[in-house]
Amino acid sequence: MLGKLLRSGKVQPPPELPLVFSLASERQLRLHQHPETLRVWRFLSHHVRRYPQDLRAHTQRVLLAQHESLRSRLAGSLQDVFLALGQSGHLLREHLFHLVKDDLSRQDELFFQQWLETASESEAHQQWREGSVLSTGQEAAAVKLLTLERSQETAQYSNVMEEVFACLEYGQIDTARELLEAEVLAGNTDESIEQELVNIYQYTRSKDGLSNMIKQMQEAGREISALWLEKQQESEQW
């Protein structure tokens, strides 16, 4: 079959690339040569919505909107350039405005002219125009409709063990350990406090923490109970 095709001399035209691929490699700023102008404009609109800083796509989109069938979307396309640049890119904004201002309505022409002369952002700049994909449509300053007030209460505990258990309940193991260590070193301790502290060392496999605590107790002249000595021996297997 291949031999027949070669002998016939017929050359098959290459397959037409999908629009997304052909436009991605398009470097010309004016895209009026594409037969489906609305489809091209929609593709560019989707692109600048995702990548608002792509100035080449913005420019292509604005110039394409000069096409008679897209003229109603011209102001919105230009508005997106102004919104994307903010107070930057004044020369580009001004150049695009002068390129297309003859195709704008008188109202839109005055709107963009005033925008170029304004040195600060205005809520009016967000007024939605047909074709815009970046404007919010919010023409007035945001008004907070609801204020949430949360009162922060300081938890009160009758003893240190209540606070320790509260910390453990919320996963604050380090805080619980520090509270217990402070009590033991201060001598304000009993069997339950020491047992809970030893349990934390075992749970966290903190062999060094256990050894360091025993050392501090010895330096303070404290008698080391069998609980600590047994747990220190067990920690060799941690």
Is 215 inside a domain boundary? yes
Q: Which of 74, 101, 126 delimits the end of a domain? A: 126
In a shared domain, residues 104 and 25: yes
Q: Which of 83, 100, 126 delimits the end of a domain? A: 126
Is 155 inside a domain boundary? no
Mean pLDDT of the 48-66 span: 92
How far is residue 52 from each of residues 1, 46, 165, measured CA to CA in Å? 51, 10, 52
Q: Which of 75, 109, 126 delimits the end of a domain? A: 126
pLDDT band of residue 196 (cuts 50, 70, 90) is very high
pLDDT band of residue 170 (cuts 50, 70, 90) is confident
Domain count, the chain: 2
Is 144 inside a domain boundary? no
pLDDT at 155: 57
Query: pTM for the complete prediction?
Result: 0.51
What tokens appear for 206 in the block? 């903190």
pLDDT band of residue 5 (cuts 50, 70, 90) is very low
Is 93 inside a domain boundary? yes
pLDDT at 151: 47
Q: DSSP letters along the chain, please? A: -HHHHHHHT--PPPPPPPHHHHHHT---S--TTSS-HHHHHHHHHHHHHH-TT-HHHHHHHHHHTTSGGGGGGHHHHHHHHHHHHTTS-HHHHHHHHHHHGGGS-HHHHHHHHHHHH-SS--GGGG---TT-SS-----S------------PPP--SSHHHHHHHHHHTT-HHHHHHHHHHHHHHT---HHHHHHHHHHHHHTT-HHHHHHHHHHHHHTTPPPPHHHHHHHHHGGG-
In a shared domain, residues 23 and 121: yes
Supply the range of the domain harboring residue 66: 18-126
In a shared domain, residues 102 and 34: yes
Mean pLDDT of the 120-134 span: 84
Q: Among 54, 134, 61, which residue's Cα sits nearest to residue 100? A: 61
Is 2 inside a domain boundary? no
Percent of the chain scored above 70 by pLDDT? 82
